[in-house]
Structure 1
Amino acid sequence: MLDGFDVQSIAFVAPVLIEDWDIAAGAFGPIFGAGLFGLMVGQLIFGPLSDRYGRRPVILFCTLWFGSLTLATAFASSWNVLLALRFFTGIGLGGAMPNIIALTSEFSPAKNRATLVTVMFAGFPLGAAIGGLISSQMIPALGWQSVFYLGGTVPLLLLILLFFLLPESAQQLARSGADPSRIRKLLMRVNPGNPPSEDVDFTIAEKQVEGFSLIALLRRGLATRTLLLWLLYFMSLLMVYFLMSWLPSILSQSGMPLDQAIIGAVALHIGGAIGGVLLGWLCDRHNPFIVLASGFLVAGGCIAMVGLTFGIPVILMALVFTAGFTIVGGLTATLPIATGIYSSSVRASGVGAALAVGRIGSIVGPVAGGYLISTQWPASAMFGVAALPAIVACLTILALMLVVARSRTTEPDSP
């Protein structure tokens, strides 16, 4: 939830800063992009580090990092300072995300993994939605800085709880050769009714991948699924962050009051939170690739229609909610697929690399949106173009389904 609030916070304050600092709306495109570029850098750096040194220390460090810099953002006084702070804050956020996903996946039973991972990651759009509701009241009353005071203080307080309560992954401990008594103690916390025998040795049953993790992702056997996963995340994040970054500003410039424009973004994220949980539940019970491909197809239609309904707020909000349900929720529900196609020795690297490549799309979306706004494209055309990546994402996930199915018939021990 804190990640979602922090990433979305800049979009909530953008309409106010555009007016207060007297800058063009399109100038915020690079600021949106800087934070997302930082996310990409953080995912590339900290994914491999956690595969080597553990999830827990990386999560703790990154929480301290992004909490401190979010708090510092409240003191930004110029476009350049804000740009730099968003970039460095993004690095910390990018380091935390794939490791939280990997840790949740490794503590989840296989039959419920999709549901549990998506419930966990539904906190991202839920945090953004709650942040929108809070920001719509805080900004007029306390100023835009209050959003970052809150967004920085809460993760620093949470860090204290994480330090005492956050465990390391049992798989990570076994792979690193930790004392068996430490692993046994952890497993007893997770499942006290079925403690492991004291004479049990803990090993990793899955196939281990040797060598530097990012290089291993492109070796024979993983290359095709890795490239398809990268394309899927590129297209998905392009659409998500175009909407997350520009929807409040576009609605505000179209004549909506600021608080109502922010509620438009809230509808997107509430749809994403609900969609992530429900789509994850469906993915546990049906073919996840078919479920998600269908969702991306519906998302494309909804995004295309958003630009045609500015004069009908009820329909617009319904379309935004449905787009959030299918594209934001669908993106969340792809995470169990991403974690499931890699072994634990490269899991955080695989998820981190996919999210990092996706961040290129998340940068392209807001920056391209800024360009289209500055060149005065009509909203209908902008949203029509933004819908095209949904079709590509739909086709990509169907191709990934075929690749994974083929590998399971030829490699019985593949993850």
Structure 2
Amino acid sequence: MSGQVISEGMGSIATSRAAWAVVGLCMLFNVIDGLDAMAMAFTVSRVATQWALNGAQIGLLLSASLVGMACGSMFAAPLADRHGRRPMLLASLLLSGVAMVLSFWSQGLYSLVCWRVLTGIGVGAVLVGANVLTHEYAPPHRRGLAIALQSVAFALGATLGGALAHVLNDSVGWRYVFLAGGGLTLVAGSAGVLWLRESPVLKLDRPGMEYRHLFNDGHWRWTLSLAGVCFLLMFGFYFVMSWTPILLTQGGFSEHHGVTGGMLLTVGGMLGALLVGLAANRCGCHRLLLGCLLLDALLLVLMVAATRVPVLAAVAGLCAGLLLYGAIAALFVMAPQAFATPVRTRGVGLVLATGRLGAIVSPTVAGVLLDAQWSVQDLFLFYAGSQVLAGGLVLMGFVGVHIRYFGNG
């Protein structure tokens, strides 16, 4: 009997180690995703100068990968429900890696836009697949932390992108940021080929489980509410993440200060996502999400005034990243819980794809408003309003309170 107990205990430890190995690989993929997704934000100032781009063209360039991410979340990632999480993740890493490498040879605005769209398709599919696979592998009592760590990894990747840009922009040029990112993406994909495992709960013989099932039996209200919050959150998030470096530069700071400001956002983001993961079980993700959204709105109102003092600018950037990534981590923990296993990737993909729509229009709207002579303060007030609206959806009980209705699958 004691030998059996010991054997079962060792099996449990081995299973736990295997689960966290998969979670670790998903973190690696999210690091790469963060680098690939945010590389443009850290190089756009150099690209805009070299190619004499106006505000609307800069916005188009910043939005290109987001268009791809929406397509990847909506159409590519759901293939994982049919063919498996592992093949989808590996194919998506290959796509984004090759597209990043080819961005190195872009000869003008529209060729770079094309490669950024393809990069985004891979990034969007990886984000959904890694989120779902982490949910399905992580121990239930550590699931919130494991998923929040994926957001930490994304922020780490964005910080790495900023560091690469800081070093490479001056030494060899902005193109090498994309070349280095593509090489790292392909290396991460190779690691996945060797060590990534398939989901332990996925069954591939589930015909007929399509998007329409997300709207059956009253589910539509909760599906749409999650998607609405994600749209508004990403609308504010990508304005702050994409435009802060260049707005700081245009406001009189050096280009290095602009890149540093972007990196501070992601450093704060890592801390915010980690804190949400640690507090998720105790405080409830819907409360954490609401708090992050409302505090972020307040901070955006004060952001422009804070940037006039270097120390306050650094603190504001750190706090903005903390709150934005904290809100995203809370939403990412909630999303896979909302859908049963057969449609989980589709459900998470739909929510994140809707968020990408907000992200797509966000930088372009900012560029158009700047061309229309809006002040930077007006822009931050406008985007603060999006976070208040998202908080209103959460406060009205559309998200979080009814999460149990879906079942955990």
TM-score, length basis structure 1: 0.88
**Aligned-pair distance for 1:226?**
0.3
Alpha-carbon contact 1:302-1:320 (below 8 Å) kept? no
Residue of structure 2 equivalent to 1:279: 276
One-letter amino acid of the counterpart of residue 378, structure 1: S
**Aligned-pair distance for 1:211?**
3.0
Match of 2:235 among 222, 238, 257: 238
55-64 or 131-140, which deviates more? 131-140
One-letter amino acid of the counterpart of residue 238, structure 1: F
Q: Distance in 1 between matches of 2:98 and 2:72?
A: 16
Aligned: 1:123 with 2:176: no
Residue of structure 1 equivalent to 2:144: 114
Residue of structure 2 equivalent to 1:80: 110
Residue of structure 2 equivalent to 1:201: none
Residue of structure 1 equivalent to 2:337: 340
Residue of structure 2 equivalent to 1:145: 175
Residue of structure 2 equivalent to 1:155: 185
| SS of aligned partner of 1:277 | helix
- Pairing 1:165-180 to 2, within 5 Å after superposition: 165-172=195-202, 175-176=203-204
**Aligned-pair distance for 1:287?**
2.1
Query: Can you list the C-alpha shifts for 1:272-295, whole angstroms capped at 9, x where unaligned?
Result: 111001012111212221122111
Aligned: 1:385 with 2:382: yes
Q: Distance in 2 between matches of 1:257 and 1:156?
A: 33
Q: Distance in 1 between matches of 2:259 and 2:406?
A: 49
After superposition, the Cα gap between the structure-2 partners of 1:405 and 1:22, relative to the gap in structure 1 and judged at 3 Å, is closer
- Pairing 1:392-407 to 2, within 5 Å after superposition: 392-400=389-397, 405=401
- Pairing 1:126-275 to 2, within 5 Å after superposition: 126-172=156-202, 175-176=203-204, 211-275=208-272
Q: Distance in 2 between matches of 1:406 and 1:332?
A: 19
Alpha-carbon contact 2:77-2:124 (below 8 Å) kept? no
**Aligned-pair distance for 1:134?**
2.4
**Aligned-pair distance for 1:386?**
0.9
Alpha-carbon contact 1:3-1:127 (below 8 Å) kept? yes
After superposition, the Cα gap between the structure-2 partners of 1:339 and 1:251, relative to the gap in structure 1 and judged at 3 Å, is same
Q: Distance in 1 between matches of 2:292 and 2:113?
A: 34
Aligned: 1:371 with 2:348: no
Alpha-carbon contact 2:61-2:113 (below 8 Å) kept? yes
Residue of structure 2 equivalent to 1:65: 95
Segments of structure 2 that go 5 or more residues without pairing to the other structure are 1-30
**Aligned-pair distance for 1:403?**
6.2
Alpha-carbon contact 1:33-1:362 (below 8 Å) kept? yes
**Aligned-pair distance for 1:407?**
7.0
Q: Distance in 2 between matches of 1:171 and 1:397?
A: 30
Q: Distance in 2 between matches of 1:149 and 1:159?
A: 15
One-letter amino acid of the counterpart of residue 46, structure 2: V
Alpha-carbon contact 1:307-1:382 (below 8 Å) kept? no
After superposition, the Cα gap between the structure-2 partners of 1:112 and 1:19, relative to the gap in structure 1 and judged at 3 Å, is same
Alpha-carbon contact 1:407-1:414 (below 8 Å) kept? no
Q: Distance in 2 between matches of 1:413 and 1:96?
A: 24
**Aligned-pair distance for 1:129?**
1.2
| SS of aligned partner of 2:215 | coil
**Aligned-pair distance for 1:406?**
5.0
Aligned: 1:357 with 2:387: no
The structure in which a higher percent of residues are helix is 2
Segments of structure 1 that go 5 or more residues without pairing to the other structure are 178-207
| SS of aligned partner of 1:122 | helix
| SS of aligned partner of 1:170 | coil
One-letter amino acid of the counterpart of residue 186, structure 2: L
One-letter amino acid of the counterpart of residue 233, structure 2: S
After superposition, the Cα gap between the structure-2 partners of 1:413 and 1:43, relative to the gap in structure 1 and judged at 3 Å, is closer
Q: Distance in 2 between matches of 1:358 and 1:412?
A: 20
* % same residue: 28
After superposition, the Cα gap between the structure-2 partners of 1:393 and 1:413, relative to the gap in structure 1 and judged at 3 Å, is closer
Alpha-carbon contact 1:228-1:396 (below 8 Å) kept? yes
